[in-house]
Chains A and B, each alone.
Chain A
């Protein structure tokens, strides 16, 4: 736990400036968007942009957090620490979530204020719980995706010295595609096994993020707790596999 905390702090310190800058950019975008809502399409575009931009940021940053260590050779220092590979990757995933939380915070607060204004004060009493729960659930999905991206990145890095850069890049794409397919299948399967667990009421909002079959656009009144647990389990499996690849196959 101590090493996990140290590595987490190192990750946060290393990316402190970028995180603050990201927060400032999202906050500025939301403020400008809110101020120019009556001038379409820019106002709406700026307000909706984080909804698409932040997931892309998660994916790009997760890839970057692995490749950065290899590109700037800091992987030599990192891998010479008396720390298990699982701890290194878990610290990276937790730091990524924290940074994602910070960067998305201005958007989440901004959207809540806009919903509240648009609904004449009805939104908050009725949807506070659902809104917060949906936000937390996106973080759970981001955690699983971080594990998958780490696995794909490290699989690519393991292939590059043996078969070249192109083979490494193809390997990354293949692991990502297979991982997403597996995640959708396994989440549905695990959710069925865990269906004896109680469901979390959602009131329809936010259920587009998660469903019993993984990603689905169908709205539903409740989210099975088993689905959430399934995402956590998959995140753990992806991180563990990534750690195995790092320990046995990846070269610095």
Chain B
């Protein structure tokens, strides 16, 4: 039986004027798997995530998300959490959640309420009054409360204090089900290592190492975090 590819990236390049952000990147992800996109800052992880989310167009190559070119119809089935703070400061937490629920048919309000409690957030709080860690948790709730086929998390632990990181990781683990795919980009590998089924290592916009996470561990006799340190030091 053929396994459906949730993500197909074929020889994708992305240029910004003279700067090449991605160069001939290809990867594939089957349904229900977790892919780690690893690399230091500036390696092209966020560019790749934006392309898959349909927020940016590749300069060359092809991307298929759930069999379609990224656009409004794939965005309805993909939950994307960018690295940056993308919440409206003038709204309250509950208003942000309500907006998300109205736009996305797969948003589960019960799950959102549970996650709010788990992440220690108050619905009536104004977004502008939240700390950086709290806003990162709220961004995550917006994505994890959806029953999306694919979740894209771009650097969810970056710039976050350790207790918030732990909460975020617990939130991801608690909501991850076998039927949905997850792509997580990070340079903080230790926090997320236990999630990965597959990993790709990026450097200067190119994939130089990719494979099954467990196979890589056995082949190298070290953890993914140790491979990461060895490759980038």
Q: Of A10, A84, A162, which one neighbours B72 at CB under 8 angstroms?
A: A84
Quick check: B54 and A80 within 8 Å, CB to CB? yes
Mark the stretch among B2-10, B33-41, B74-82 that contacts chain A. B74-82
Give Cα A164–Cα B91 distance, bound, in whole angstroms. Answer: 32
Mark the stretch among A24-32, A69-77, A90-98, A207-215 that contacts chain B. A69-77
User: Which residues 40-61 in B have Cβ within 8 Å of A in the complex?
Assistant: 50, 53-57
On chain A, the residues within 8 Å of B228 by CB distance are none
Quick check: A13 and B91 within 8 Å, CB to CB? yes
With A6-B103, A72-B89, A73-B85 as known contacts, state yes or no: A80 contacts B16, CB within 8 Å: no
Give Cα A248–Cα B102 distance, bound, in whole angstroms. Answer: 26
Q: Of B56, B75, B87, which one neighbours A74 at CB under 8 angstroms?
A: B87
Give Cα A162–Cα B90 distance, bound, in whole angstroms. Answer: 31
On chain B, the residues within 8 Å of A116 by CB distance are none
Specify the main secondary structure of chain B where it touches its partner: loop
Quick check: A83 and B72 within 8 Å, CB to CB? yes
**Least Cβ–Cβ distance between A71 and chain B, in angstroms:** 11
With A83-B72, A161-B16, A162-B17 as known contacts, state yes or no: A76 contacts B103, CB within 8 Å: no
Q: Of B55, B80, B88, B103, which one neighbours A14 at CB under 8 angstroms?
A: B88
| B99: interface (CB < 8 Å) | yes
Select from chain A the residue with minimum beta-carbon distance to B104.
A82
Interface string of A7-40 (1 = CB under 8 A from B): 0001001100100000000000000000000000
**Least Cβ–Cβ distance between A160 and chain B, in angstroms:** 10
Interface residues on A, range: 20 to 34
Give Cα A243–Cα B95 distance, bound, in whole angstroms. Answer: 27
With A13-B95, A73-B82 as known contacts, state yes or no: A162 contacts B16, CB within 8 Å: yes
Give Cα A17–Cα B84 distance, bound, in whole angstroms. Answer: 25
**Least Cβ–Cβ distance between B53 and chain A, in angstroms:** 6
Interface residues on B, range: 20 to 34
Quick check: B17 and A161 within 8 Å, CB to CB? yes
Select from chain B the residue with minimum beta-carbon distance to A87.
B72
With A161-B17, A162-B17 as known contacts, state yes or no: A80 contacts B73, CB within 8 Å: no
Quick check: B75 and A80 within 8 Å, CB to CB? yes
Give Cα A11–Cα B56 distance, bound, in whole angstroms. Answer: 23
On chain B, the residues within 8 Å of A3 by CB distance are 103
| B174: interface (CB < 8 Å) | no
On chain A, the residues within 8 Å of B53 by CB distance are 80
Give Cα A76–Cα B154 distance, bound, in whole angstroms. Answer: 12
Give Cα A82–Cα B56 distance, bound, in whole angstroms. Answer: 15
Select from chain B the residue with minimum beta-carbon distance to A75.
B86
Quick check: B86 and A73 within 8 Å, CB to CB? yes
Most chain A C-beta atoms within 10 Å of own C-beta, residue among B55, B85, B104: B55
Quick check: B87 and A82 within 8 Å, CB to CB? no
Give Cα A73–Cα B91 distance, bound, in whole angstroms. Answer: 15
Quick check: A17 and B90 within 8 Å, CB to CB? yes
Most chain B C-beta atoms within 10 Å of own C-beta, residue among A76, A79, A162, A248: A76
| A218: interface (CB < 8 Å) | no
User: Which residues 95-131 in B have Cβ within 8 Å of A in the complex?
Assistant: 95, 99, 102-104
On chain A, the residues within 8 Å of B16 by CB distance are 161-162, 251
Quick check: A77 and B86 within 8 Å, CB to CB? yes
Select from chain B the residue with minimum beta-carbon distance to A163.
B17
On chain A, the residues within 8 Å of B86 by CB distance are 73-77
On chain B, the residues within 8 Å of A80 by CB distance are 53-55, 75, 78, 80, 82
Quick check: B88 and A82 within 8 Å, CB to CB? no
Give Cα A146–Cα B75 distance, bound, in whole angstroms. Answer: 27
**Least Cβ–Cβ distance between A195 and chain B, in angstroms:** 40
Quick check: B55 and A79 within 8 Å, CB to CB? yes
26 contacts between A and B (CB under 8 A): A6-B99, A10-B99, A14-B90, A17-B90, A73-B82, A73-B85, A74-B87, A75-B86, A76-B55, A77-B86, A79-B54, A80-B75, A80-B80, A80-B82, A81-B103, A82-B103, A83-B75, A161-B17, A162-B17, A249-B57, A251-B16, A251-B50, A251-B56, A252-B55, A252-B56, A252-B82
B-binding residues in A (CB < 8 A) = 3, 6, 10, 13-14, 17, 72-77, 79-84, 161-164, 248-249, 251-252
